[in-house]
Amino acid sequence: MKLTTHLLTLASLAAVATTLTSCIAEEPLNMECDLLELYIHSDNPGDLFYDKNDTLWTAVDYENSVVNFKPTRISANIESYTTYIRVTEGATAYLNGATEPFQNGTVLDYSDENHNYIRVVSQDGKWERQYDIYMEHEKLTGPTLTFDFEEYAIPEKGKFYEWHVDDELSTLFPDCMWKNGNPGYKLSRSTAKPLDYPTAPAEGEGPDGSSCVKLETRDTGKFGLTAKMPIASGSLFNGKFNVSDAMTDALAATQFGAPYKYQPMMFSVWAKYEPGETFLDCQKNPVEGIIDEPDFYVVVYRNIDKDGNTVILDGNDVLSSPYIVGKARLPHNYNADGTDQMGNHPIHGVTSEWQKFTLPVEYTEELDPELLKNNGYSLIIGFASSWQGAYFNGAIGSKLWIDNIELLSK
């Protein structure tokens, strides 16, 4: 009897223990349905694109469902090309409403800006998204660029303002718009109002009473601090902002510049500046004796290296890359070794009153006219409310207003 009771008691305890260690359930199917890469095969990719690497399209913005190849050469004869895609593991792609899955190696017609649509369905079958795929010719522009920032809008479902540029600038301005760090700020401050973003319009505050752009270094709050990105400098540039990198590698997230066919000579902009009160280091600790400074610059760089690889400058080397051949930048103090010197005697000369700044673009080498014609040089036009903002150094509340940009080239 004693044994039976013991066994009964132990059995009940064992039952409890077994229930505790519940088994791991079967793996759920993937829910994602992204088109990650799209590659077209052309026998002469150099005849189609200025940079033959542009036959590969890679997703940088997972919310965007447009596969917009870089504009092709004006002379290119766009035809049909064998197309290969890579999608999320387990997902299935369908072309133009077909019921049979898309097979890699299918020939798609890209001529006359023909749009193809690929629908990607997730492995679990519950999610899908449709991609719009097309190719278009580069458009011709003149040698003078002007921007007055009078037009801006919040896109549908958007949370912050965007500044679009004319269609013919689609090469210099990917997605035909100015880029900034607002998409990154959105991750940390989802409740921010459109005008509370680091880059926002300022209606009626321009030098002529019209609208201008206000860049303001903002606090990214607890999320930003947790992600080791405690502040966000206001920014404005042409290029791409890779939101996917914003949380992990903020410097790499800003991809500066795009090809330009002219040699920039003179850059001018109207600007005024108010530094924020307390300069903060990247851990958000106040630093005595440093006054925040704004920055703006024009950079011209070679966008293909000697091995034929594409070169894109990002936050790490936008002003220091060996591929830079020309530069115009607001003056700053530098140490003897050439590194940036932060201090309390700024020499940039931007005050709280509107002034026009004219900076000549200085070159370290002659531009190769053949390379220039073939989009071998990229141009960056960049602005920041905190010149060390890429490294999360700066003062919250530093404000840079800019308006009426002009870039003269030859």
Partner 1 sequence: MKHIFISLLLAAASLSAMAADLENYQKWGTHSKNDAQLRINAGYAIGGTMPMPLPAELREIKMFKPYGGVNVGMEVSKMLGSGKKRWGMSTGAHFFWQGMQTCARVKGYYMGFDMDGEHIEGFYTGIDETNAHLMGFTVPFQAVWRASSRWTLQAGPYLQAYIKKEFINNIYNGYLRENVPTGNYIPFDEDGLHNIPFNDDMRRVTCGVTLTADWKITRNLSAYGTVDWGLNNVFHSDFNTITFNMYNVYANVGLAYSIF
- The nearest distance, CB 321 to partner 1, in angstroms, is 24
Q: Which amino acid is present at 346?
A: P
| Residues 400/217, Cβ–Cβ less than 8 Å | no
* Candidate ranges 37-45, 171-179, 185-193, 201-209; the one touching partner 1 (CB under 8 A): 185-193
**12 touching partner 1, by CB under 8 A:** yes
- The nearest distance, CB 405 to partner 1, in angstroms, is 30
Residue 410, judged by CB atoms within 10 A of its CB (0-12, 13-18, 19+), counts as exposed
Residue 359, judged by CB atoms within 10 A of its CB (0-12, 13-18, 19+), counts as middle
Concatenating the DSSP letter of every residue in 153-189 gives BPPTT-SS-B-B--GGGTTTSGGGB-B-SHHHHHHH-
- Residues of the chain by 3-state class (helix, strand, coil), percent to 5: 15, 35, 50
* Candidate ranges 108-116, 196-204, 238-246, 281-289; the one touching partner 1 (CB under 8 A): 238-246
The two beta strands, 279-280 and 399-409, are: unpaired
Q: What is the widest separation between alpha-carbon atoms in the chain?
A: 104
Residues 191 to 230 in contact with partner 1, rule: CB under 8 A: 191, 221-223, 226-228
Q: Of 6, 41, 115, 373, which lies in the binding site for partner 1, with binding defined by CB under 8 A?
A: 6
**127 touching partner 1, by CB under 8 A:** yes
Q: Which amino acid is present at 199?
A: T
**148 touching partner 1, by CB under 8 A:** no
Binding letters toward partner 1, positions 243-282, x by CB under 8 A: xxxxxxx---------------------------------
Q: Of 25, 99, 157, 288, which lies in the binding site for partner 1, with binding defined by CB under 8 A?
A: 25
CB nearer to partner 1: pick between 54 and 245: 245
- The nearest distance, CB 10 to partner 1, in angstroms, is 8
DSSP structural state of residue 284:
S
Which residues of this protein are in contact with partner 1, per CB under 8 A?
Answer: 1-2, 4-6, 8-9, 12-13, 16, 20, 22-28, 30-34, 62-63, 122, 127-129, 187-191, 221-223, 226-228, 243-249
